Structure 1
Amino acid sequence: MINIKEYIESGVLEDYLSGNVSEQERREVECLSKIYPEIKTELNLLGEAIERHAFAHRVAPPTALKDKIMAQLEFADELPETAQTEESEESETDETPVIALNSRQPSFQFGWLAAASVVALIGTAVYFNARVETLNGTLAQQADELRQKTELIANINNADNQFVTLKGVEKSPNSAVRVVWNTKTQEVQLNVLSLPAPDAAKQYQLWALVGGKPVDLGVFDVNNAMQKMKAIPQAEAFAVTLEKKGGSPTPHLEELYVMGKVAG
């Protein structure tokens, strides 16, 4: 299914209105505008905006243009007398209607071409403005991701951190999870090194063993990101089980995947 918001923001509608699209893209815009009212509405609004802007900034043709054209058209007075006589005789026998030239047509065409040029320029400007906004949004997102990664690295390099590697048990010997536990702030972070992808109805859950009893530290997803879990003041070991989605109040040991003891 098409993402209507992304399609509208892509700039293809502005390109369509300015004629800067391929035949396939033109057919695509016309087809989608019939299927999705949002696209049709946006297309109409853009067209009206461009038309208003074009006529508000239309360029008048040079004042001497009309006189120059008329000078080229008014050649009848310069015909020799014999030619005028022949023309008069032919007009009496020839019943073919003569269509008068509209002296205003050239200036109208010039004004229309000027307006069309303005429309094309506006379409190009709108297109590039949309591209700049998209680029700025991407740069801002990348800057935020970089900031988060920098903070994460700083937190991991904290001297109070204790690293505990949870290794796979008999059920899943190739699995591995790394836990970063700050004994001073009590913060716990988790990074999945290797775990089988769970079913949609299930989710992995982290546990801390305190006095031989399991303490829930929250559920997490299988990805490469460092995930923040619930804080714990003390722990003897950490373990991961596969539970129903959202977690369980007590672990199902038959679904134990990894486990690791805290050093010291």
Structure 2
Amino acid sequence: MDIKAYIESGILELYVAGQLSEKENQEVYELMQQHPELLKEVLEIEASIVKLTAATSPNSVKFDAFKDKITDAKVIQLNPKKTDWVTYSGWAASIILAGGLIWTLNNNTELTNQIETVSTERQLLEIQIEKARDNLAETRRLLDALRTKDILTVPLNGQGNYDFAYAKVYWNKNDNTIYLDAKGLPNAPEGKVWQVWSLTLNPLTPTSLGIIDNFNTDDNKIFAITNTNESQAFGITLEPDGGSASPTMEQLYTLGVVNTAP
């Protein structure tokens, strides 16, 4: 995923503004969990909006500027005999009170901004903690599955021009599940997906086990796949988006034969 291009697309601003559909909001939320730089960008957008709101608020008048205007005011000569000291002292008190209120409102705005920033950072931390907890639970579940007594391990080696590639299948026949460790495959190019195949060898008959459309965004690269076939081999090919009815042999990256010998 091109993080920079995604940020520049403007979708994060629409997310913060609440202008996306429920599905789009969920997609952005999931991407923020996977990419900390997107979370950071959302925080910065929210902080900018808070600052902009404060800057355009009537309460954002600075007391120093207000004080300067008072200081720069023209001096009017008054006739001492006609001066009502109570009246002018009342005006002075009003000016001081108004300035004090503006200063107080400014401080309250800054305090509100700080509270909102702390709240946002807390939400970010909670998301990170929840993600770490989920990852730990998933790791434990996978380890338990891979340590099953009767599980079959099938190495998938690179083929032809793709001899750099590798993968491994852990097949639990008891629950008709394979666990594919595909760490040895590169990210799928744009417009392509990895497709997993179950094979019988005589005659050669491929059966699709499905595509891995979230391969590029998955950190662990371990995928649980249902397999009810009497598989004699497994293969992985690179196919167009949506997958293919039969494997593209020119794009066969890995292949491994099941060894059932004790």
The interval holding the TM-score normalised by the smaller chain is 0.5 to 0.7
Distance 2:154 2:250 in 1: 22
Change (3 A) 1:47 1:126: farther
- Match of residue 124, structure 1, among 108, 114, 121: 114
What corresponds to 1:33 in structure 2?
none
| Contact 2:151/2:171 (8 A) holds in 1 | yes
Can you give the 5+ residue segments of structure 1 that lack an aligned partner in the other structure? 17-28, 30-42, 52-87, 93-99
| Contact 2:193/2:239 (8 A) holds in 1 | yes
The question of 1:176 aligning with 2:166 is answered yes
User: For 1:157-178, what per-residue CA distance to the aligned partner results, in whole angstroms no more than 9, with x for missing partners?
Assistant: 2223211111112232222111
- Match of residue 47, structure 2, among 11, 16, 19: 11
Say which is worse superposed, 176-185 or 124-133, in terms of deviation: 124-133
Can you give the 5+ residue segments of structure 2 that lack an aligned partner in the other structure? 1-7, 17-41, 60-77, 82-87
The question of 1:158 aligning with 2:154 is answered no
Structure 1 residue 11: Cα displacement: 2.9
What corresponds to 2:65 in structure 1?
none
Structure 1 residue 7: Cα displacement: 5.1
User: For 1:83-125, what per-residue CA distance to the aligned partner results, in whole angstroms no more than 9, with x for missing partners?
Assistant: xxxxx9x979xxxxxxx56332223323333333333323322
What corresponds to 1:250 in structure 2?
246
SS of the counterpart of 1:141? helix
What corresponds to 2:3 in structure 1?
none
- Match of residue 92, structure 2, among 98, 103, 118: 103
- Match of residue 206, structure 1, among 181, 189, 196: 196
Say which is worse superposed, 217-226 or 142-151, in terms of deviation: 217-226
| Contact 2:183/2:222 (8 A) holds in 1 | no
Change (3 A) 1:230 1:137: same
Aligned length: 192
SS of the counterpart of 1:171? helix
Distance 1:243 1:170 in 2: 17
Distance 2:250 2:105 in 1: 76
Taking structure 1 as the reference length, what is the TM-score of the superposition?
Answer: 0.61
The question of 1:228 aligning with 2:229 is answered no
The question of 1:194 aligning with 2:184 is answered yes
What corresponds to 1:216 in structure 2?
208
Distance 1:196 1:124 in 2: 44
Please give the residue correspondences for 1:23-34 in structure 2 after superposition, counting only pairs within 5 Å: 29=52
Say which is worse superposed, 116-125 or 168-177, in terms of deviation: 116-125
User: For 1:46-69, what per-residue CA distance to the aligned partner results, in whole angstroms no more than 9, with x for missing partners?
Assistant: 958xx6xxxxxxxxxxxxxxxxxx
Change (3 A) 1:249 1:143: same
SS of the counterpart of 1:210? strand
Distance 1:157 1:119 in 2: 57
Taking structure 2 as the reference length, what is the TM-score of the superposition?
Answer: 0.62
Please give the residue correspondences for 1:26-45 in structure 2 after superposition, counting only pairs within 5 Å: 29=52, 43=53
SS of the counterpart of 2:250? helix
